[in-house]
Amino acid sequence: MANVRVRGIIATAVSKILFDHSYTIVQASKPIQERLCIGFNTSPAEVTVKDADNDEILVIGFPEPARHVYELLVETLEDVFTWRSRLGLWSIVSGIITENNDRVCRVKLPLGLEGELFNCKKRPGEKIILAVARPPVKPGEKIRLTTNIRIIGKYVALIHGVPKLTASEHIRDKARRDYLLALAASKVYGKGVGVHLRSSSMYASDEDITREIDELLEKLNKILHMEPPKEPTIIYPGEYLGLIGLTSTAKERLDEIRNQVVPTITGHHSLKSTHDQSLSELVDYTEYLVQKQVFTRENASRSIRDYILEKNKEARIGITHIKPTGEKLHLTPGTLHKIKTGRDGTIIIIKRTMRSNGVYDGLNIEKKPGDIDYMFIKTGEWWISHNYYRGEEWLGTYVNINTPPEILPREIKYHDLAIDVAITKTKIQTIDEEELEQLVEQGIIPEKLARKAQEIARKISENPENHIYNPNT
């Protein structure tokens, strides 16, 4: 199994998943070493797993091991969005210039893809060898190409055409960094090649680094002297790059796995992902009390949730709608109109006042400033209903199918599952089923998650009255 380095708030849970599947965790932090009872392994990482943003995990590394790590995490976490690049980061490809518009060339690439090369002096029809500087991971992203190709090793990367010496920010020992840079410089001086020291190089021997530079130089020279193939081709795979979109239920799965190693409240990864320092410290303190058996895990989790709900009574609440493309939409904020807690969960009503003219999506009803949307949310449920009123008149209800919303300080956040149900005075309609199927075909939404969304939509269509909110009752 591969050597994997794990960083970020997901480090304990992800390290546990990988460790249980016989992966070697390298360069682990002291808390991870203690929690998993492992030593500090200085071997170079073949795969790195880390937070990409508040709601995503990035997997990057050598193609085959990184793909296996990515697939294991997706299989384990289940309810996730998946975005993978078909071309590796810094992959080297041959392409054909199809257009040159003001020194921006469009390039025909392998796999039926097209990229952009800036400051391009080539003419249409010319063949060229390039590197993928920015691969497309999410839908709609463009491929950025460069003539400065690079070859990546375990300790260093060589960059042709950029004869600079750089080092990873994680090599914090200045004396060690300067020594390694001088060593690298002695191997590439006068060759028109730059060297980037990867973080693993801080633990490498001189022999390891010089041998790898020699090997990479040989690979690089072969590519530089080859004739571009007749058709677009992948010459060198670069690094695998994949993102995993973490829904609320995937974060809860991470909570459960982390709890096998160290006391962890339900909501740990959700609350930590806000990067609110005071909230993070509150979570740490609460889990400390659980460890000391002052509270049970269940009581502590419920207390944190109740505390957030209480604080939200005084706040304006933002609505973050995460689309399967990864785009985050911030809906018009609202205020907490009503809250009711029972045995089967908590009902939250957020009141939003419309500010502009338009048309309500899916309902085909005119929207006017001053209209009210009563957002009906039930914790743990896979939907949120938007109930539109103009004065006392009910205009219609739009039920968004989504993962159970995360209730955060001053924010409600959820992942949209494409399919929805529109309810008006004259009809009930399920919409965007084709979009959901396309997302499954593209590999963004897993089949199991899509079928769950369809089943929820079907049940809502059969019992619409359970999802309509009337503020007058």
CB of 430 within 8 A of CB of 469?
Answer: no
Average of pLDDT values for 350-362?
A: 93
Three-state secondary-structure class, residue 461? helix
Bin 254: left if φ > 0, else alpha if -120 < ψ < 50, else beta: alpha
Q: Does pLDDT of 315 surpass 80?
A: yes
Local confidence band at 87 (pLDDT 50, 70, 90 cut-offs): very high
Nearest to 346 by CA among 315, 312, 306: 306
The pLDDT assigned to 359 comes to 93
Local confidence band at 352 (pLDDT 50, 70, 90 cut-offs): very high
The pLDDT assigned to 305 comes to 92
Alpha helices in 226-360 (DSSP H): 248-259, 268-272, 277-291, 297-312
**Class of residue 447 by CB neighbours under 10 A (exposed 0-12, middle 13-18, buried 19+):** exposed
Alpha helices in 344-446 (DSSP H): 433-441
Local confidence band at 472 (pLDDT 50, 70, 90 cut-offs): confident
Alpha helices in 294-371 (DSSP H): 297-312
Local confidence band at 342 (pLDDT 50, 70, 90 cut-offs): confident
| CA angle, 418 then 308 then 35, to 5° | 85
CATH architecture of 92-238: 2-Layer Sandwich (3.30)
CB of 369 within 8 A of CB of 438?
Answer: no
Average of pLDDT values for 431-439?
A: 96
Q: Does pLDDT of 361 surpass 90?
A: no
The pLDDT assigned to 206 comes to 96
| Contacts (Cβ under 8 Å, ≥6 apart) of 264 | 255, 256, 258, 287, 297
CB of 158 within 8 A of CB of 166?
Answer: no
Average of pLDDT values for 322-334?
A: 95
- Cα gap 207→212, rounded to integer Å: 8
Strands 358-360 and 383-390: unpaired
Local confidence band at 462 (pLDDT 50, 70, 90 cut-offs): very high
Let me know if the fold of 92-238 is the same as that of 316-467: no
For 221-241, the pLDDT digits (tens) are 999 999 999 999 999 999 999
| Contacts (Cβ under 8 Å, ≥6 apart) of 473 | none
List Cα–Cα distances, 310 to 276, 303, 319, in angstroms: 17, 10, 17
Nearest to 409 by CA among 298, 322, 282, 288: 282
- Cα-trace Rg, the chain: 26
Structure tokens at 118: 């800036």
The pLDDT assigned to 1 comes to 82
List Cα–Cα distances, 415 to 138, 166, 328, 354, 403, in angstroms: 15, 39, 9, 22, 5
Nearest to 18 by CA among 59, 51, 55: 59
The pLDDT assigned to 157 comes to 97
Neighbouring CB atoms inside 10 A of 446's CB total 19
Residues in the chain, how many? 473
More confident residue, 472 or 156: 156
Q: Does pLDDT of 473 surpass 80?
A: no
> Where do the structural domains in the chain lie, given as residue ranges?
3-84+242-250, 92-238, 316-467
Lowest mean pLDDT among 54-58, 94-98, 204-208, 313-317: 313-317
For 154-195, the pLDDT digits (tens) are 999 999 999 999 999 999 999 999 999 999 999 999 999 999
Average of pLDDT values for 121-150?
A: 96
For 253-298, the pLDDT digits (tens) are 999 999 999 999 999 999 999 988 999 999 999 999 999 999 999 9
Nearest to 137 by CA among 45, 60, 43, 223: 60
The pLDDT assigned to 321 comes to 97
- Cα gap 32→7, rounded to integer Å: 10
The pLDDT assigned to 345 comes to 82
Q: Which CATH number fits domain 316-467: 2.40.380.10, 3.40.50.300, 1.20.1740.10, 3.20.20.20?
A: 2.40.380.10
Q: Does pLDDT of 314 surpass 90?
A: no
**Class of residue 226 by CB neighbours under 10 A (exposed 0-12, middle 13-18, buried 19+):** exposed
Percent of the chain scoring above 90 in pLDDT:
95
For the chain, give the mean pLDDT: 95
